[in-house]
Amino acid sequence: MKTSRLLVLALVWSFWSCQDENLLPESPVEVVPETFIPELSSSLQVGDFPQPERNPLSKEGVKLGKRLFFDPKLSANGKISCASCHLPSKAFTDGVALSKKGVSGNALHRHSSPLFNLAWHTTGLFWDGGANDLESLNFGPLTHPDEMAADLEEIVAYLIQDKTYPELFAQAFPKNPIQSATISRALSQYTRTLISQTSKYDDWKRGEATLNSLELQGYQLYQNHCSSCHQEGLFTDLDYHNNGLDLIYPDPPALEGLFLGRFRISFDSLDLGAYKTPSLRNVTLTAPYMHDGRFESLEEVLDHYQSGIQVNYSLAPQLKEGINLSPDERKALLSFLKTLQDDAFVLSHIQDSEK
């Protein structure tokens, strides 16, 4: 009896004395959600889907992200969701130049961007590319006083007490509790699944549809005049250019270089007034145009490229001569641009958002 007690004592001592006191109990086995990669059309010309290492797509993550995207309760006044300014019916834009829909009611300084094919935007997001990825971007609109004006801690508190969210988070992110990072990751998973690749153009490229002669002429004009920046496939080169909108750029300190374009991020003088090339996909749905929505119609945009270019030091060299098109050529080009309108994409996401 005594012997066994001593043995126990000895054993306890030997295990206790030099053990790392920080040893954690073994973590329980967790169900990790299965990841997936969306199907892609060859007409996107993207090769593959870049699955983010830290935030791979899962059905559970996308489902949660969609719920968050359409949930106005995330905002400070409970009235604004991401979808308030990113409407599925307008290829996730809002149809106004500078929205005043935010919590403060103040007009924004930038036009609401369309949301599709974002997975390939690896050269920065926002008009000036200031956000390195979607996961980092989301905190901007969530917290900006002129947008959703949310306090991240209050969002977390709201989600924790909700009836549905805790279960959805547990399924999507079993290793992490509800926190800022997982909220943003879920939103990013949803927005990465917004892939526009079912336009008439896509069908044509895959040999499943034909373009009429006007559209084909427009395609030629696009290739000759637009494709260096609006590269075929995604219809953007994902790069930043000064397209001659303004000669000079005001710089009020309170706006932290907002009117300087890409320069406020890169501090490269060639990026003054430069903004990201928007995609021409769905361009017929995303009026008004430019980073500040200054042009109401595609006609106005073409007028700008024909005769409105402001030439300064940082102007994109491709635009020095402008883009001169005859009225017939314009008609043809606009006819081709219409083939990039992806009604199936828009419809499916309108229906999906109503589920």
Residues binding other proteins (CB under 8 A): 2-3, 6-7, 9-11, 13-14, 17-18, 20-22, 54-55, 126, 128, 130-133, 135-140, 143-144, 151-153, 156, 176, 179-181, 184-185, 188, 253-254, 256-257, 264-265, 267
Look at the alpha carbons of 235, 197, 281, 49 in this order and tell me if their dihedral is positive or negative: negative
Separation CA 245–CA 20 (nearest Å): 64
Report, in Å, the least distance between residue 139 CB and other proteins: 5
Separation CA 88–CA 103 (nearest Å): 21
CA 320 vs CA 51, 101, 104, 271, 312: distances in Å: 38, 37, 40, 16, 9
- Residue 57's Cβ-count burial label (10 Å; 0-12, 13-18, 19+) is buried
Q: CA 346: distance to chain centroid?
A: 16
* DSSP track, 98-138: S---STT-PPPSSPPPP-SSGGG-TT-BSTT--BSSHHHHT
CA 54 vs CA 51, 57, 89, 188, 333: distances in Å: 9, 10, 31, 11, 41
User: Which CB atom, from 72 or from 130, has the smaller least distance to other proteins?
Assistant: 130
Q: Which two tokens stand for residue 235?
A: 């219809």
User: Which CB atom, from 2 or from 163, has the smaller least distance to other proteins?
Assistant: 2
Report, in Å, the least distance between residue 21 CB and other proteins: 6
Contact at 8 Å (CB) between 188 and 135?
yes
Report, in Å, the least distance between residue 262 CB and other proteins: 11
Report, in Å, the least distance between residue 253 CB and other proteins: 5
Report, in Å, the least distance between residue 58 CB and other proteins: 16
CA atoms within 13 A on the CB side of 54: 10
User: Which CB atom, from 133 or from 237, has the smaller least distance to other proteins?
Assistant: 133
User: Which CB atom, from 166 or from 322, has the smaller least distance to other proteins?
Assistant: 166
Q: Which residues, other chains included, contact 165 with Cβ-Cβ below 8 Å and sequence gap of 6+?
A: 64, 67, 159, 178
User: Which CB atom, from 128 or from 202, has the smaller least distance to other proteins?
Assistant: 128
Report, in Å, the least distance between residue 322 CB and other proteins: 32
Report, in Å, the least distance between residue 261 CB and other proteins: 13
DSSP 240: E
Q: Which two tokens stand for residue 336?
A: 């081709």
User: Which CB atom, from 185 or from 241, has the smaller least distance to other proteins?
Assistant: 185
User: Which CB atom, from 117 or from 138, has the smaller least distance to other proteins?
Assistant: 138
Report, in Å, the least distance between residue 330 CB and other proteins: 36
Look at the alpha carbons of 290, 296, 298, 299 in this order and tell me if their dihedral is positive or negative: negative
Report, in Å, the least distance between residue 229 CB and other proteins: 23
User: Which CB atom, from 19 or from 161, has the smaller least distance to other proteins?
Assistant: 19
Separation CA 159–CA 140 (nearest Å): 19
User: Which CB atom, from 9 or from 247, has the smaller least distance to other proteins?
Assistant: 9
